[in-house]
Structure 1
Amino acid sequence: MKSLIYLAVLAFVAILFSSVEQSSYHILERTLPPVLGACLGGVLACTSIVVSVLSASSKDTKQKAKTSEKFSRFIISLERDVKILVVCLCLIVALPYLRTLEYPITLSLFELSPQYLKQKLFSASEIFVASIGFLVIYELVTVLITILKNMMVIHDSET
């Protein structure tokens, strides 16, 4: 329930900050794919660091990680977050194209033109997806740093 409230607030903020001005949403469309792609690459690099630290660990540490419920949840969460980030990246790349298509259904609301609503919807969608992507990146980096700190504590206790 808490997540739904956060998503609703995020959607409201995205609608609030969305723009129908072509110069505004073109900035998003040009800059977001490379930024999210670079962030995904960075997250995957951090993940490989965690894996390399774990693989260089002693047999006892590897066994602890293998049987640890916390570590298993971390791996599952990491996998889910990386998949969410990849989906966000795909949507950020696809939304500008989808904006250009003509749709057989038109929507009028509060005497606003269908074209205005279409541009507002796509701008809000881009902001919403980008926000989710950046929140996932923040969570991933926070968790990876926590894991690295814990791995350092484990290594210090082994020596």
Structure 2
Amino acid sequence: MNNLIQDLQSKFGVENIQPMEGGLQQTITLPKDILVDVCRYLRDDSKYYFDFLSNITAVDYFPENRFAVVYNLASLPFQRQLTLRVELTMENRDKNNLPEVPSVSSVWRTADWHEREAFDLMGIFFSGHPDLRRILLPDDWQGFPLRKDYEDPESYHGIPIKGE
């Protein structure tokens, strides 16, 4: 996998591709503005062929007001796994003040539902997503339940939510 890091660094810049030490699987941190290009390269290059996006998740670093979006990739033919990580700060916000990262649904179709889930539960906005809307909660739900600063509402449409 060291060749992968060197290859990505030569193609996208050493300053943009940062390997993370430790962990059970190779993890690379990269800026959001090259995310889609890196993903497309990792999918299309015959040396790597990361043909499957296993998962997308988000991490809330409350109270630091920053998030990370984590992409778990797999190359089924080569039996390899790779994690990509994009860190989002207050500067990475959309017009509704949500953390924003580009959608990778044009690279892997499975991203469609993974991104919708991260949007629904963590409030991450995926720009360019073809149908970014809630997937688990009602459309008019307020807030994002997996954020650390989320507080359960007392009721929803007059129905009590909090138990005694």
Please report the TM-score for the alignment, with normalisation by the length of structure 1.
0.21
| Bigger Rg, which one | 1
Q: Which has the higher contact order (CA 8 A, sep 6+)?
A: 1
TM-score w.r.t. structure 2 length?
A: 0.21
Q: Which structure dedicates a bigger proportion of its chain to helix?
A: 1
The structure with more strand, counted as a fraction of residues: 2
